[in-house]
Chains A and B, each alone.
Chain A
């Protein structure tokens, strides 16, 4: 097979070079952001908890790059990647993570509650599956107000144990609401393999409601992007919700402090995902294999982002904390 025929047969070629490079750039941005979160946390500069998204970047990027800027997302405790992919800037993100006044939520939300109306981010949610209703409600409002917006609800496979997910899928399909339920299945509910907590077939749960369902490789950003595009446009046409199960892996622990993990998952398994199925490496290789970029181009993307991320960290570290008098502001609108 010649290079030309191989390229023509790969449906990802239809995405276009500019977008394909952007998918790479956005994934690298999240990776670099999260590496700095890990660093800030281990240097005791970041209060609270940090749940890293490293390893799962292709899902947030593939989905959000298929959305319009005025579309909505809801995120999770492991939400930095979703927020960045939807357009959040790293300086205001880091500031929020460090509890600074300049942060997205004036330091009142922190790592698990980044919200930003300007980018359609309805908020990260620290209750597992807590935002399924919010996303479905945003989809309801979009349909009622006829503004053509789609809402994406990100959640991990741990949320499959929560009843609200099924109530919302029922309502979404019943009323043909433009909401995409994105299940990031990284195999682990905190410290427990999902097979120990999840009966039956995951996709069948959504199919039971008549919701359009697909299970995809969450490490392939092109697949995520193209699948998401299909269902997002379908939802925008008024044809109802979808449930995407994206198979992925969480490289780090449940949170940064979860270091000794061998009691719940083998080191060899972690190594296999990191070396064989890394979404950033795989897409970079694909770009080079298909003549979209060479190593120098990819390195340049990374170098530019390193400068941006380091500046963002510096901004956040130097930003002031909110005055204690602000504690009683923003309770009521």
Chain B
């Protein structure tokens, strides 16, 4: 049975059309390519196939194969090429399909793209976007299911975006293309089919480094990223039925990080659960939790807790895979126990 689309709260009052998560990314790319002829998109099967997720369908028809470029299966090769092109007048968008393949290109993004501006004393810029995906439960097993956004977040010089709604994805992607730094943009694969939402028909951008309160509440804060925003919103709804008011805050970008919004939310609610689909050990969730512990320590009723991917390679079998990702029920139970209700 196909899963029903989850409606997400519109982030802007004048939102007037509903689109899917992948549509949002495609619209952002198309708008930026129309605006700036130096923007090109390259990756494996991005042209006629529109990527393996079919989210870029139609771009090659509008912009031609000179700007929507099918590459060899050569992630290191075309990412490195993107770095050089970005330094010399282009704004390439490099598509690496599965976030797991970040491990293949770590030298190019971590040692090259991230450091060139600094190593050159600010003389060279690398304005490029590296598109990647994240998220499990597609039965894709250990090498196509990981959420590795912590990896680029660890490296000074990179910016990292993890949108959770179509409106955020579109506005943040456009900002990423216009940014003069390398930006790694993570799209949750499940959200392509599961998440729809309202977006403004007028052009808009969302600044990198500004968190968004997806739901206001007073008893506990969920700081949730990417797919976990939907899970947290689901848990918040369940908590409402037992009289607990949960706030859901989406940092939207891992770096720059809007520490203030996270800390202020926790100061208000005094309790916090960080939800992230990456691994918990040495992780995004650890960093977000520590940010809150340092910033809101005297307002906390207890330790900040984390709900993350189980620390195992993502298994194939549905019965195994499903237990590796935090669920609404887990979030509900943990929040309830923290609130003693």
Contact = CB atoms under 8 A, between A and B. Distances in A.
Contacts of B117: 330-333
B292 to A, nearest CB: 24
Contacts of B111: 127, 130
Interface in B78-100: 78-90, 92
A200 interface: no
B157 A332 contact: yes
A330 B121 contact: yes
Contact of B157 (A103, A106, A331): A331
Nearest to B66: A144
A123 B122 CA distance: 12
B112 interface: yes
Interface string B100-125: 00000001100110001111111111
A105 B121 contact: yes
Contacts of A167: 72, 74, 76-78, 80
Contact of A142 (B66, B88, B108): B88
Interface stretch (A33-41, A168-176, A185-193, A251-259): A168-176
B227 interface: no
Contacts of A333: 117, 122, 125-127, 180-181
A122 B118 contact: no
Interface in A67-123: 72, 74, 103-109, 113, 115-117, 122-123
A230 to B, nearest CB: 24
A46 interface: no
A272 interface: no
Given A136-B80, A137-B81, A332 B107 contact: no
Tell me which of B72, B80, B107, B127 has the highest count of chain A C-beta atoms within 10 A of its own C-beta.
Answer: B80
A122 B122 contact: no
A141 B78 contact: no
B8 interface: no
Contacts of B123: 104-105, 115-117
Interface in B44-95: 66, 71-72, 74, 76-90, 92
Tell me which of A106, A135, A174, A332 has the highest count of chain B C-beta atoms within 10 A of its own C-beta.
Answer: A332
Contacts of B108: 133, 164
Nearest to B159: A332
B318 interface: no
A137 B121 contact: no
A181 interface: no
B76 A163 contact: yes
A140 B84 contact: yes
Contact of B84 (A127, A141, A331): A141
B250 to A, nearest CB: 22
B156 interface: yes
Nearest to B86: A137
Contact of B79 (A107, A125, A133, A329): A133
Tell me which of A74, A106, A107, A171 has the highest count of chain B C-beta atoms within 10 A of its own C-beta.
Answer: A171
Contacts of B107: 127, 130, 164
A164 B77 contact: yes
Contacts of B126: 333
A58 interface: no
B40 interface: yes
Interface string A144-155: 110101010000
A309 interface: no
A134 B112 contact: yes
Contact of B121 (A108, A131, A139, A147): A108
24 contacts: A104-B120, A105-B119, A108-B118, A109-B119, A115-B116, A117-B123, A123-B119, A123-B124, A125-B112, A131-B112, A132-B80, A133-B79, A134-B87, A137-B82, A138-B88, A140-B84, A140-B85, A141-B87, A145-B38, A167-B80, A174-B72, A330-B122, A331-B157, A332-B180
Given A106-B121, A137-B87, A141-B87, 13 more contacts: A104-B121, A115-B116, A115-B121, A123-B119, A127-B107, A134-B112, A137-B88, A137-B90, A140-B81, A147-B89, A330-B121, A332-B157, A333-B117
